[in-house]
Amino acid sequence: MTLNTNVKNLVKNVEGQVRRIQEQEGPQITADLLTNLLKGKINQETIDAILDEVQHIEERDGISQDYFEEQFLTHADLLGPGVTAGILINAIKYVALVQSGLTSQKAYDAVFPQKAAEVYARGSDTSSFATMYAKKKTVVEIMKRSIIRDDIRHAPLRDKLLDKLVQLSNGRGAKEDDYVSPTVQLNATLGALDYLKPPEDKSIDLKIGYNEEAKAMQQSIAEQLAANAALMRQQFEAGKSLKEIQRVNVVIDAVEE
């Protein structure tokens, strides 16, 4: 019992130490890192825009800066033809908000406030937009990756913590010539093993079927088709030709990336 408590306390202390080191070092994402990591994929203007998002993500979107940086670095490989930095950033925000408990529609409204305001101003809502946005390739890919177990997912901050535990288990302290006691090494080793231990339950729960927003969108389209059919019938009975009236006027606005 005492040993387990020591391990938990050690892990907590290491987490705090990593956090303090990170705060001293500044953000994980820097201009140099982006230039080296995404060489040829982005220009200086895009780099500046990404850094601005990183610096203001918490106050603008309520998303932890550490989490956002980890997610951006984790999914940066998606950048390329058809996937700009802006598209990737919006997708990360959307997935983060949905996974924090917001509905798809509320997450969409938060990520695209200007578009949402325009839709609501004309007396409609964004449920269909949110449903279609959730099917975007980048969003789906990030969602799929989030299903991967946490113990095998790439997470830079957690990796720093694990590296620190491994260093302690090998006897290396905070300073170059600082060596830790055998007890600390044992506790660090147990802490590292605890972090690397896969979950006992490896099952994944999947919800299959329409969600409420998809049902609402389907119902909306059905109502539009029914209204058009009734109008076409009236026009046909009024003497118009079939060629003149046989048009389906269902319009779905383009969804923002």
Q: pLDDT (tens digit, 0 to 9) for every residue of the chain, 257 residues total?
A: 444 555 455 555 555 544 544 444 556 788 888 888 777 777 888 888 888 888 888 888 888 888 888 888 888 889 888 898 899 999 999 998 998 888 999 999 999 999 999 999 999 999 999 999 999 999 999 998 877 655 555 555 566 667 777 777 777 776 667 777 777 777 777 777 776 666 666 565 555 555 566 666 666 677 777 777 777 777 777 777 666 665 555 444 555 56
Q: How far is Cα 19 from Cα 13, in angstroms, rounded to an integer?
A: 10
Are 13 and 62 in a shared domain?
yes
Cβ atoms 164, 144 nearer than 8 A: no
Are 191 and 228 in a shared domain?
no
Q: How far is Cα 234 from Cα 78, in angstroms, rounded to an integer?
A: 51
Q: Does residue 68 lie within any of the structural domains?
A: yes
Are 47 and 71 in a shared domain?
yes
Give the domain range for residue 223.
212-245
Are 228 and 166 in a shared domain?
no
Cβ atoms 92, 68 nearer than 8 A: yes
90 CB-contact burial (10 Å; exposed 0-12 / middle 13-18 / buried 19+)? buried
CA atoms within 13 Å, Cβ hemisphere of 131: 16
Cβ atoms 28, 70 nearer than 8 A: yes
CA-only gyration radius of the chain, Å: 26
Q: Does residue 157 lie within any of the structural domains?
A: yes
Q: Does residue 80 lie within any of the structural domains?
A: yes
User: Three-state DSSP class for 20?
Assistant: helix
Q: What is the DSSP string of 163-185?
A: HHHHHHHTTB-SSTT-B--HHHH
Q: Does residue 203 lie within any of the structural domains?
A: no
Cβ atoms 129, 108 nearer than 8 A: yes
Q: What's the total number of domains in the chain? A: 2
